[in-house]
Chain A
């Protein structure tokens, strides 16, 4: 199993550009999450999904969009990039909604908006 994979690993965007961060998991997990981590800070939840076709906002959804057409994929779309979106983005998955299921994280995407 590859686990959770994210592409790209690094990206530099200009203000106003858009991009999609890709996330794929091969563990057949229903629950998937997108977090951002600003330098020296903890994780903030952007969006999450409890299954294909179902998504919901986290605490910092503004400026982002998601879709979940398959169990495996959970792409994050940045529209009109702003310097405030400079961060490391982590995708994660968990098997179910039970409290004892840990999250599996991807390696992260380091995004810089100039």
Chain B
């Protein structure tokens, strides 16, 4: 699976958009980009995933560049409850394995 690079920490003001970048320059054609987050002391929580098109759900939007070498997770109106560690994971669509390799993630602090 491709390696991802994320900034170790970021902050944003409550109510503003939080844009979390992820670099995955070695991604291959069959690999998806997943985002999970981990709020303090809890288990990781799935946010969104995508292959090459931009995706949006009730939690966030995922913007993937045309060359697929990087992506951005957007929390449109960050709240204090969005303070968490955000993990960008690249994984191939597999038939028999669902291994997720978690990196160090980005620690997002939402300021009041």
On whether the two chains bind one another, the answer is no
Binding site for B on A (CB under 8 A): none
Binding site for A on B (CB under 8 A): none
